[in-house]
Amino acid sequence: MLVDAGPIIALLSERDTYHDWAVEQFKRFPHFTTCDAVLAEACARLAYYGRDQGIVIELVAAGVLVVDFDSNREADRVARLMRKYADRPMDFADACLVAMSEKVSDSAVVTLDAADFAVYRRHGREIMRYLSPAND
């Protein structure tokens, strides 16, 4: 299971609309794989809300979040995805997650961005599997 920044923020923010849903997802799966871009986005959003960014990194230290993406090796693929979906616009974190999903055939993304992930395609044509409050 891959995870986007939205569910991480919702998990760590009790007043978030999707907090209960995020808690369920984090109970449902033993860990999530993600990328540095998602961590940076989650930290930045927590800081914006006046929250401690360190709690995101504590999830990494605890093994709840596993970072497994090399932006150097995948830069060409990420750039192509961002150009292809520029009309959305696709952000760096979403492009990394799509590229990550292409490496594991049965992967799915846990996200709050159902509208975007419903449009994104793996390998150009494959529908992305994702879990969100909209389709759960």
CATH number at residue 77: 3.40.50.1010
Does residue 30 sit within a domain? yes
Report the amino acid identity of residue 90: M
Number of domains forming the structure of the chain? 1
H-run or E-run covering 67: strand 65-67
pLDDT digits (tens, 9 = 90+) for 19-65: 999 999 999 999 999 999 999 999 999 999 999 999 999 999 999 99
pLDDT digits (tens, 9 = 90+) for 72-112: 999 999 999 999 999 989 999 999 999 999 999 899 999 99
Does residue 96 sit within a domain? yes
Answer yes or no: are the C-beta atoms of 132 and 114 closer than 8 Å. yes
Does residue 94 sit within a domain? yes
Does residue 65 sit within a domain? yes
Residue 32 belongs to domain spanning: 2-131
Does residue 55 sit within a domain? yes
Does residue 136 sit within a domain? no
Ranges of H-type helices in the chain: 5-12, 19-28, 36-48, 54-61, 71-84, 92-101, 114-117
Answer yes or no: are the C-beta atoms of 2 and 100 closer than 8 Å. yes
pTM exceeding the 0.75 threshold for the entire prediction: yes
User: Which residues lie below 8 Å from residue 92, measured CB to CB, with a gap of 6+?
Assistant: 37, 78, 82
Does residue 26 sit within a domain? yes
Does residue 125 sit within a domain? yes
Answer yes or no: are the C-beta atoms of 16 and 45 closer than 8 Å. no
